[in-house]
Amino acid sequence: MADRLPYSEKVMDHFQNPRNVGEIPDASGVGTVGNPICGDVMKMFLKIENNVIVDAKFKTFGCGAAVATSSMVTEMVKGKTIEEALKISNKAVAEALGGLPPIKMHCSVLAEEALRSALKDYYEKQGLAVPFEITKRGHNEHGH
């Protein structure tokens, strides 16, 4: 890493210029998650049409890594089917950002949880059974 910050250039970019900040008023699913330890909160909005995530936005009250991972996960899910989106682990989000310092991996967990929470809300609003993939906790790649 060229600079002395523990963050990759991609993390800094997504923190300083976060993509998809905001709300989707007629969202198909909305998920809010928080980390009780650091107190950060992430809210994710998904617009889903024919099983495809056509739009994603977020609002995050949290640390720089939480903002960067929210930004990245909303970029990653757009255009994906629900099944494809469910394969996105917090580790994949961190990797797409060029990595996160170990003590910041939990911030990427929040991003994965926000995505799952919004998908859960979507299924519930549709009156459908929530697939097991959504309710199970993460992908065992949370890192510490």
| Nearest residue (CB) to ligand FES, 28 versus 108 | 108
Q: Indicate if 107 belongs to the active site.
A: yes
Q: Indicate if 63 belongs to the active site.
A: no
Size of the site for ligand FES (CB under 6 A): 9
The binding track of 27-66 with respect to ligand FES, each residue x by CB under 6 A or -, is --------x--x-x---------------------xx-xx
Q: Considering only residues 72 through 131, tell me which ones interact with ligand FES, judged by CB under 6 A.
A: 107, 110
Among 121, 46, 111, which Cα is nearest to 79's?
46
Q: How far from chain centre, in Å, is Cα 70?
A: 5
Q: What is the DSSP letter of 17?
A: S
Q: What is the DSSP letter of 58?
A: E
Q: Report the nearest approach of ligand FES to the CB of residue 93 (Å).
A: 12
Determine the Cα angle at 123 with ends 55 and 105, to 5°: 65
- Edge to edge, the sheet with strand 41-49 lists 29-34, 41-49, 52-61
Q: Which of 1, 5, 38, 103 is catalytic?
A: 38
Residues in touch with ligand FES (CB under 6 A): 35, 38, 40, 62-63, 65-66, 107, 110
